[in-house]
Structure 1
Amino acid sequence: MHATPSIVKADSWKRLKTLVISAGLLSLAFANPVLAQEKMLRTLTVTGRGTEMVATTITQVRLGVEAQGKTANEVQQEVARRSNAVVNLLKSRQVDKLETTGINLSPTYQYDNGKQTLTGYAASNIVSFRIATPKAGVLLDDAVKAGASRIDGVSFVATDEAIAATQKAALREATQDAQAQADAVFSALSLSKGQIVSIQVNGASAPPPRPLEDVQSLRASVAPKAPSPVIGGEQEVQASVTLQISY
């Protein structure tokens, strides 16, 4: 028994519709990931920066004792005696982070017509410490009177608590700057701002302590009668934040 032409045509049409629908669903299944990937690639990356200033209230000092003499033992004992006096003074003033940063003993020579002659020895002992800036001037003068003969460096820093608070403020400023940049770009291109898909905190840091310029070695014999003026300033804290925003 043979099927009529109308029945054959109906079956063929059903098979064709099924094939077309299947092909459409398959195409959609493959297209969705592509569309999703394209959507993920449609992002804007901006980096914002923030800068805040914090008052420096701590003075960081490096000072020491140096001496010269005919014998190594003589010089070393003199440096030890004066160093103990200076350290005792610093401890009595309750300075912070007191530590020895350098000890040196070396021979000294005289050169005459290419001939080297030993003339004696030189020694030094260097310590570092921190103290509240308003107290630094008087302490430096008293340290020279106690036996310190050199000031190798004076720099100014803020307290750890003040720096931490300023770092947070700089990060907030950096984040707001990044968002403002993104808003400006989207507005100029008439694009709709989407979600933030990535946040990268590049860091908030304070530079090294600001040194006091023109610090020279001091001798007890030329210690000033009036307290040495020591005035701090401000310390800069920088931060940056990178945002990746979809559109």
Structure 2
Amino acid sequence: MLGLRSLAAALTLLSLTFPMSAEAQERVLRTLTVTGQGEEVIPTTITRVQLGVEVRGNTAEEVQQEVASRTAAVVDLLRSRNVEQLQTTGIRLQPQYDYRNDERRFRGYVGTNSVSFRIGTEQAGGLMDEAVKVGATKIDGVSFLATDRAIASAEKEALRDATQDAQEQAEVVLNALNLTRKEIVSIQINGANSPRPPMLQNAMLRSESASTPVIGGDQVVRASVTLEILY
């Protein structure tokens, strides 16, 4: 048994001492690594809105009741319009003070309740106006995004573009050096991503006769692919 172990160890040591074959060394050395980039721009058709109710008053009970009443009316409206991903994003009730001449004076209470939802961009302006009429007092943020289906399709296109870009880069370099491209020995997909547009913050709601205009923009989807090519 010991002899077999010694023989195995000797064979392992012997294999480690042999240098790589010339063919293997050439395969390692004669590779070109290129990274291609792909980008697709798609229109946004969905608006994510975060709006809320803010109430000030003399007592906590008074403020909380008013916030609850207004918020319930806003939520009922949003549900009746079949908005998507409706959820509460913040609830707060706290005292307010003035500080003058090193003295703290009680001013009353402020209460807030915020919700967020998604709706088609063409409907967003009118719905926000309606929300004002039933009790909303502020918009905490608005952002625009494309549909999940549009993003998934754009990600595939961005990957195709990135792959094509990487191959074109390799062709330019190898042709310039009078080298012949062989097979691709390694592929790395660095990913396709679609950064969410930042929300437009702290817009104030005003109830006016005309519908609030809401105009979406474009969303950029990017991808990156790395190829290792033998030459």
- One fold, TM greater than 0.5? yes
1:216 is aligned to 203
Partner SS for 2:108: strand
TM-score (norm 2): 0.89
Q: Which residue of 1 aligns with 2:120?
A: 132
- Matched residue, 2:110: 122
Runs of 4+ in 1 over 6 A off after TM superposition: none
- Confirm whether residue 230 of structure 1 aligns to residue 214 of structure 2: yes
Residue 230 of structure 2 is aligned to residue 246 of structure 1? yes
Task: Find the residue that maps to 2:204 and give its secondary structure.
Answer: coil
> In the alignment, what sits opposite 2:183?
195
- In the aligned structure 1, how far is the partner of 2:83 from the partner of 2:109? 31
Report Cα offsets for 1:76-125 as digits up to 9, x if no partner: 11100000000000000000000001111110012221100112100100
Structure 1 vs Structure 2 CA RMSD: 1.4
Q: Which residue identity does 1:41 align to in structure 2?
A: L
Q: Name the residue aligned to 1:23.
A: none
Partner of 1:158: 146
Please state whether the residue corresponding to 1:203 is helix, strand or coil: strand
Q: In structure 1, give the amino acid aligned to 2:80.
A: S
| Overall identity of the aligned pairs, in % | 58
Report whether the alignment pairs 1:181 with 2:169.
Answer: yes
Match of 2:35, SS state, is: strand
Any gaps of 5 or more consecutive residues in structure 1? 1-29
Tell me if 1:110 matches 2:88.
Answer: no
Counterpart-to-counterpart distance in 2, 1:68 and 1:38: 77
Give TM-score scaled by structure 1 length: 0.83
- Match of residue 75 from structure 1: 63
Deviation, 1:38, is 2.3
What letter corresponds to residue 142 of structure 1 in structure 2? E
Structure 2 counterpart of 1:236, which letter?
A: V
User: Contact conserved, 1:54 with 1:166, CA < 8 A, in 2?
Assistant: yes
Question: Aligned-pair distance for 1:142?
Answer: 0.2
Match of 2:79 in 1: 91
Instruction: Name the aligned partner's letter for residue 199 of structure 2.
Output: P
CA distance in 2, matches of 1:66, 1:202: 45
Q: Deviations over 1:188-229 (max 9, x none)?
A: 00001010000000010011124347x5222xxx41110001
Q: Residue 27 of structure 2 corresponds to which residue in structure 1?
A: 39
8 Å CA contact 1:133, 1:230 repeated in 2: yes
- In proportion to residue count, which structure has more helix? 1
- Post-superposition shift, 1:152? 0.7
* In 2: Cα distance, 1:95 partner to 1:179 partner: 45
Counterparts of 2:125 and 2:50, CA distance in 1: 13
Residue type of the alignment partner of 2:130: D
Does the 8 A contact of 1:157 with 1:210 survive in 2?
A: no
Aligned residues: 214
Instruction: Return the index of the structure with the highest Cα Rg.
Output: 1
